[in-house]
């Protein structure tokens, strides 16, 4: 019987969420209510908590604290209840390898669970490379599903140039990272304070950073209850941000995005523009005001590799949960250990990369008039003339080669003549010196 045909017995089964604040966390919004089985949020637990008998699946994104790790490890060892771990945003080097509050290896190295709901293809590759082959599923991020229905912005070329400067909720994890984050955003602030215009357009800044950054950088706009980020993105022309999921959200709306990152770490979720030292601030912001189509294309490719938007993530999450529960039921019926398929969710494009809209040559090379010419008949005539001209090329080539050979012979003759003349001059000079010496001796006598 195909896996998805297993009957889902919803009677007395629940999805247990191992995170007390799941009801208010945006990571769980938009898909929990649509699951095929009821949801129970575990609000009070310690390391000896055990899933109730009616548990059909255990779900959490909190997989790095001792309490959850202890529970997940114990449940996983029993191999009867499926565990789904959620990824809360992008992968970032500092969070994976330089977070002082996280135990080494706790960031999916390896995964303590059966499946990991990844937000994009590149995240699948990264987490599989850490020893999680067969555990990673391409889902997307349900809270960003709205982006699939929002047309990309037509970037303005005139009028005010409005730039959002933002930071992650937690921009640093230790004092050294704090210093480098301040250096990056201070460099951006300095440029914006000293430049009223960019490419002839009035420069307007919108600041949406952690409270400490607002206060110490004296950046305006801090509010205890700021405007929703969606509304802000609708009103700006470009974004500069520290590494954050915001970079994907802005890119999906068609805004050029630069990542301000002075940490000199590997980019696990790269964008087309990066500000890695102060000298890059001016050229990057200048380019954001009129971004090259080739870099916009690269940004789109990186976005599609980092965030799955081809199918609703909420629906893919629901299907993943249902299949995991069905397979667990089947394993219980057969009195065997739980074993899930390496891939449960089909790839939206079957693993192939489709051509991006911006891949058209006239878009990638706007300064080349050949690609801009859409008059096929004229191009065909010009091509026919070029082909006819090329037909004469072999004869012209042999004529040119014969002429070059004659010229080389003439040049060699001239070189020989010059060498002979030089030898003659040298001989005459020697004879002259000899005669002058002899003449001097005769006068002395």
Domain ranges of the chain: 3-141+310-333, 149-307, 376-445
What pTM value is reported for the model?
A: 0.81
Q: Which residues contact 353 (CB under 8 A, 6 or more apart)?
A: 304
Rounded to an integer, what distance in angstroms lies between the CA atom of residue 340 and that of residue 328? 8
- Distance between CA atoms of 17 and 40, rounded to whole angstroms? 6
**What are the helix and strand counts (H, E) for the chain?**
14, 12
Nearest alpha carbon to residue 341 among 318, 320, 313, 311: 320
Helix axes 121-129, 293-306, angle to 10 degrees: 60
> Do 3-141+310-333 and 149-307 share a fold?
yes
User: To 10 degrees, what angle do helices 175-194 and 281-289 make?
Assistant: 60
Q: Are 115 and 135 within 8 A, CB to CB?
A: yes
C-alpha dihedral (5, 11, 13, 14), degrees to nearest 10: 100
303 touches 248 (CB < 8 A): yes
DSSP state at residue 21 = T
Phi and psi at residue 377, to the nearest 5°: -60, -45
Q: Torsion-angle region of residue 15: left (phi > 0), alpha (psi -120 to 50) or beta?
A: beta
Q: Tokens for 336?
A: 């065997």
Helix (H, G, I), strand (E, B) or coil at 59: strand
Token code pair at residue 343? 């891939």
Provide the CATH number for the domain formed by 3-141+310-333 in this structure. 3.40.50
Q: How does pLDDT run along the chain (445 residues), one tens digit per residue?
A: 333 444 455 568 999 999 999 999 999 998 999 999 999 999 999 999 999 999 999 999 999 889 999 999 999 999 999 999 999 999 999 999 999 988 888 889 899 999 999 999 999 999 999 999 999 999 999 999 999 999 998 888 899 999 999 999 999 999 999 999 999 999 999 999 999 999 999 999 999 999 999 999 999 888 767 889 999 999 999 999 999 999 999 999 999 999 999 999 999 999 999 999 999 999 999 999 999 999 999 999 999 999 999 999 999 999 999 999 999 999 999 999 999 999 999 999 888 877 777 766 677 677 777 777 777 787 788 778 877 877 766 776 677 778 888 888 888 888 888 888 888 888 888 888 888 777 766 666 5
d(C-alpha 271, C-alpha 257), whole Å: 7
Is it true that domain 149-307 has CATH number 1.10.10.60?
Answer: no
């Amino acid at each position: 019987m195909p896996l998805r045909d297993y009957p889902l017995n919803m009677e007395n089964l629940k999805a247990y969420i191992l995170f007390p604040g799941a009801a208010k966390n945006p990571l769980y919004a938009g898909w929990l209510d649509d699951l095929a089985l009821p949801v129970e949020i575990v609000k009070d637990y310690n390391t000896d908590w055990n899933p109730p008998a009616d548990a059909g699946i255990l779900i959490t994104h909190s997989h790095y604290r001792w309490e959850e790790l202890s529970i997940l490890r114990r449940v996983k060892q029993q191999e009867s209840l499926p565990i789904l771990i959620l990824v809360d945003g992008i992968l970032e080097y500092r969070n994976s390898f330089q977070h002082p509050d996280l135990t080494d290896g706790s960031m999916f190295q390896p995964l303590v669970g059966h499946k990991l709901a990844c937000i994009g293809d590149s995240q699948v590759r990264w987490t599989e490379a850490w020893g999680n082959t067969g555990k990673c599923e391409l889902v997307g991020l349900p809270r960003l599903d709205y982006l699939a229905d929002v047309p990309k912005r037509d970037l303005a070329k005139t009028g005010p140039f409005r730039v959002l400067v933002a930071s992650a909720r937690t921009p640093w994890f230790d004092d050294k990272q704090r210093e480098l984050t301040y250096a990056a955003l201070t460099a951006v602030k300095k440029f914006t304070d000293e430049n009223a215009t960019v490419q002839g357009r009035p420069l307007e800044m919108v600041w949406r950073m952690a409270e400490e950054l607002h206060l110490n950088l004296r950046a305006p706009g801090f509010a205890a209850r700021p405007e929703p980020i969606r509304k802000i993105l609708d009103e700006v022309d470009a974004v500069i941000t520290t590494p954050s999921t915001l970079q994907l959200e802005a890119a999906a709306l068609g805004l050029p995005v630069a990542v301000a990152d002075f940490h000199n770490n590997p980019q696990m979720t790269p964008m087309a523009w990066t500000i890695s030292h102060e000298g890059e601030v001016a050229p990057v912001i200048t380019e954001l005001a009129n971004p090259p189509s080739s870099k916009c294309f690269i940004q789109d490719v990186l976005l599609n590799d980092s965030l799955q938007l081809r199918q609703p993530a909420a629906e893919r999450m629901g299907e993943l949960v249902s299949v995991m529960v069905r397979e667990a039921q089947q394993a219980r019926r057969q009195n065997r250990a739980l074993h899930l398929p390496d891939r449960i969710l089909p790839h939206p494009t079957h693993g192939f990369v489709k051509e991006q809209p911006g891949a058209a040559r006239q878009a990638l090379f706007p300064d080349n008039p050949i690609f801009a010419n859409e008059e096929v008949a004229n191009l065909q005539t010009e091509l026919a003339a070029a082909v006819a001209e090329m037909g004469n090329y072999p004869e012209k080539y042999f004529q040119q080669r014969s002429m070059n050979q004659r010229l080389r012979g003439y040049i060699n003759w001239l070189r020989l003549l010059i060498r002979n003349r030089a030898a003659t001059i040298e001989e005459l000079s020697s004879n002259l010196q000899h005669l002058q010496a002899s003449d001097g001796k005769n006068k002395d006598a």
